[in-house]
Structure 1
Amino acid sequence: MLEVSDLHVSYGNVEAVRGIGMTTSPGKVTLVLGANGAGKTTTLKAIAGLEKPHAGRVVLDGKDITGLAPHKIVRSGVALVPEGRRVFSPLSVGENLRMGAYVADRTKSAEMLERVHEMFPILSERAGSAAGLLSGGEQQMLAFGRALMSQPTVMLLDEPSMGLAPAIVDSILAKVRDMADSGIGILMVEQNAEAGLDVADDVVAVARGEVVYSGPAAEARDNASVLRAFLGEAALTGPGD
């Protein structure tokens, strides 16, 4: 279980994250919603060790991982899939996947690769192709697969639907649900609230670096007026972060 409590992150004199708290557990998708600049990506980066919080705690399965170096956080079981996918374009699909396993238990890498290919068959079919030649949706699957190769217990997903054709978004987010159903805890930032709510178990809404709503996804969907109050009408109609 991942527990984030009273997290504070600043850029110079500007406090971007002010006391945020959220959790996710095995098999659950926790959806993080908020307008541009709300502190969503900064929160994920702080959990992943890419930003240093000046207060608060990040605890994974009872172990405090707050502020550890990124590679140590990956080794502990947390994998970040960044906004924009950021695959290694010149490398092959297979090489990208192997890069994801650089801190993982090597004795389990072959088994994990098989699981990744089962979940994303296109990655097996395109194993020798350059990652930069894949479509946007295929690159997002590769980014998921690369993160899975680190054998995580928790995955942090930053805007997985960004830049994808509307016809592809539902299938990509369905893969998020599949990953959670395999036993991984998912913390997902997603501006497309309508699509995100379809796969989420819980919702955390963030505004101005603070949590303004936290509860079950079904409750959030039933209270659309609450979402509109702090996210705006666009949050229920599509991306635009």
Structure 2
Amino acid sequence: MLEVTDLHVSYGNIEAVRGVGLTVEPERVTLVLGANGAGKSTTLKAIAGLQKPHAGTVRLDGRDITGQAPHRIVRQGVALVPEGRRVFAPISVAENLRLGGYAADKSAFADTLAKVYDMFPILADRRSSPAGLLSGGEQQMLAFGRALMSQPEVMLLDEPSMGLAPVVIDAILAKVAEMAQAGIGILMVEQNAQAGLDIADRVVAIARGEVVYTGESGDARNQASVLRAFLGEAALADRSS
């Protein structure tokens, strides 16, 4: 289990994350909602070691991993799938996956790769193709597969549906649910709130760097605080009128 407690992150004099606390449990999807600039992606980066927090703790199975180098955090079982997919376009699908397993147990590489190809058959079909020639949805699946190659306990997903057609979004988020069912804890930032709520077990809403709501996904749909954090005051007023 991943536990984040009283996390604070600043960019110069601007405190982007102020006391965020959340948990990510195995086999469950925790959805993070909030307006642009609320601190959602910064929270993921701090957990992954890409942004150093100035206060708070991040623990994985009770081990303090706060502020460690990203490669050490990957080795301990936390993998980030960044916004925009960030696949290595010139090299093949297979080579992208191989890079994803650089920090993992090499003796399990073949078995892990087989599981990735089983979960994402399109990657097996396109294993020799340059990643840059894949469609947006296929690249997102490759980004998932690359993270899975590190054999993670927890996956951090930053806007996995960004830039994708609605029919593709459904397929991508179905894969997120499948990864959770395989035993991985998922922490997902997602602007498509409705689609995210369809697969989420738990919801955390962040506004201005602070958690304003935490609860089960079924309860979150009718919570004004969640709508306010995600949609803003004007949109909330429109829904009430």
With the shorter chain as reference, the TM-score category is over 0.9
Amino acid at match of 1:216: E
Residue 234 of structure 2 corresponds to residue 227 of structure 1: no
Distance 1:153 1:139 in 2: 22
CA displacement at 1:224 relative to structure 2: 4.9
Q: How big is the shift at 1:226?
A: 3.5
Residue 119 of structure 2 corresponds to 119
1: CA distance, partners of 2:181 / 2:167: 23
Q: Secondary structure at the match of 2:164?
A: coil
Shift in Å at residue 235 of structure 1?
A: 8.8
Paired letter, 1:145:
G
SS where residue 30 of structure 1 aligns? strand
Contact in 2 for aligned 1:59/1:65 (Cα 8 Å) = yes
TM-score under structure 2 length normalisation: 0.95
The one-letter code matched in structure 2 to 1:63 is R
Would you say the 8 A contact 2:33–2:206 is kept in 1? Answer: yes
The Cα offsets for residues 141-169 of structure 1, whole Å up to 9 and x where unpaired, read as 00000000000000000000000011110
Any conservation in 2 of the 1:16–1:38 contact (CA below 8 Å)?
A: yes
Count of aligned residue pairs for this structure pair: 235
Change (3 A) 1:235 1:97: farther
Q: How does 1:34-113 map to 2 (within 5 A)?
A: 34-113=34-113
SS in 2 for 1:155: strand
Does the 8 Å contact 1:194/1:235 carry over to 2? no
Indicate the residue corresponding to 1:13 in structure 2. 13
Q: Give the Å deviation of 1:44.
A: 0.2
Matched residue type, 2:167? A
Match of 1:32, SS?
strand
| Contact kept in structure 2, 1:191 and 1:235, CA below 8 Å | no
**C-alpha displacement of 1:225:** 3.5
Q: Distance in 2 between matches of 1:86 and 1:229?
A: 31
Q: Is the Cα–Cα contact under 8 Å of residues 212 and 226 in structure 2 kept in the other structure? A: no
Q: Distance in 1 between matches of 2:227 and 2:41?
A: 20
CA RMSD of aligned residues (A): 1.3
1:3–1:58 contact (8 Å) kept in structure 2: yes
Q: Assess, with a 3 A threshold, how the Cα gap between structure 1 residues 235 and 143 changes in structure 2: closer, same or farther.
A: farther
CA distance in 2, matches of 1:228, 1:68: 34
SS at match of 2:206: strand
* Unaligned 5+ runs, structure 1: 237-241
Equivalent residue letter for 1:59: R
- Corresponding residue for 2:22? 22
Question: Could you say which residue in structure 2 is the equivalent of 1:185?
Answer: 185
* Kept in 1: contact 2:7–2:55 (CA 8 A): yes
Q: Tell me what 2:132 maps to.
A: 132
Instruction: Look up the SS of the partner of 1:188 in the other structure.
Output: strand
Flag as ranges the 4+ runs of structure 1 deviating above 3 A: 233-236
List alignment gaps of at least 5 residues for structure 2: 237-241
Query: What residue is the counterpart of 1:239 in the other structure?
Result: none
Asked if the contact 1:192/1:235 (under 8 Å) is kept, the reply is no
**Scaled by the length of structure 1, what TM-score is found?**
0.95
Percentage of matched positions with identical amino acids: 72
Alignment of 1:153-192 (within 5 A): 153-192=153-192
